[in-house]
């Protein structure tokens, strides 16, 4: 099980990670919220531990950002703030648990194990989230985010983008796209696929230096950060 820790106290961060690793977890530690959000774009974790008072982006805002595209990964807030208003704010942003510092590491371990038992490895919500660099496709909710911002797509645009993403960087032909997205509802000699690819490029790639939707001349299209 992989845990990502947001904690700017270097000593506490190191001690927590050592404790978790001694209990068969892997633990990556991050010291500011901005770096933390970059870290989760390309890495998968089973649980997040978030301190509130950290540099750049505080832990509550990090929690809210995570929940905008990931409703299932458990989040535990670990904070010196113990007022009920602070806890209410955390749970309003959909944190799963709140532990006030100082706390016994064994209590944290009990809470982690409790949350992970509730989360099935085959959870459909996890299976239906596809990540390509900073692009996140939530198939369950039919929502798409890039760099944390939601992108509005039509149903066919969403289906086309999902199909490209499911190919995991492989090139898919125009014929394959019409079979899976349009189910042969139009002649492949038309330019419908090209039109919708252009629609997606304007919404997914236009405002970003890194382009994700690519054409392989004579073969088809693929979705990849490379």
pLDDT in tens, 13-40: 999 999 999 998 999 999 999 999 989 8
Position 122 scores a pLDDT of: 46
Q: Is the per-residue pLDDT at 226 higher than 90?
A: no
Give percent helix, percent strand, percent coil of the chain, each to the nearest 5: 40, 20, 40
- Inter-residue contact 5 to 28 (CB < 8 Å): yes
pLDDT over 90 percentage in the chain: 59
Position 90 scores a pLDDT of: 93
Position 124 scores a pLDDT of: 46
Measured on CA atoms in the order 30, 35, 37, 38, is the torsion positive or negative?
negative
Measured on CA atoms in the order 11, 12, 13, 19, is the torsion positive or negative?
positive
Q: Is the per-residue pLDDT at 92 higher than 70?
A: yes
CA distance 117 to 170: 35
- Inter-residue contact 117 to 210 (CB < 8 Å): no
Q: Is the per-residue pLDDT at 42 higher than 80?
A: no
Domains of the chain by start residue, with CATH: 2-119 (3.40.50.2300), 126-223 (1.10.10.10)
Mean pLDDT over 108-122 rounds to: 79
Q: Is the per-residue pLDDT at 188 higher than 80?
A: no
Measured on CA atoms in the order 96, 21, 119, 131, is the torsion positive or negative?
positive
């Amino acid at each position: 099980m992989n845990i990502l820790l947001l904690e700017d106290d270097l000593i506490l961060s190191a001690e927590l990670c050592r404790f978790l690793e001694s209990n068969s977890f892997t633990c990556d530690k991050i010291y500011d919220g901005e770096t933390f959000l970059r870290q989760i774009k390309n890495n998968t974790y089973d649980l997040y531990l978030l301190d509130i008072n950290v540099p750049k982006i505080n832990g509550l805002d990090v929690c809210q950002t995570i929940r905008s595209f990931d409703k299932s990964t458990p989040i535990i807030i670990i904070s010196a703030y113990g007022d009920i208003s602070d806890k209410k704010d955390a749970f309003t942003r959909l944190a799963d648990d709140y532990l006030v510092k100082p706390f016994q590491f064994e209590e944290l371990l009990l809470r982690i194990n409790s949350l992970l038992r509730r989360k099935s490895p085959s959870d459909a919500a996890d299976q239906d989230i596809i990540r390509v660099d900073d692009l996140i496709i939530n198939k369950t909710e039919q929502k798409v985010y890039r760099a944390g911002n939601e992108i509005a797509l039509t149903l066919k645009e969403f289906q086309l983008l999902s199909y490209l993403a499911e190919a995991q960087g492989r090139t898919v032909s125009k014929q394959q796209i019409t079979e899976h997205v349009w189910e042969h509802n139009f002649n492949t000699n038309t330019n419908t696929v090209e039109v919708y690819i252009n629609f997606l490029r304007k919404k997914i790639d236009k405002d970003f230096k890194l382009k994700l939707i690519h054409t392989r001349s004579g073969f088809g299209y693929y979705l990849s950060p490379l």
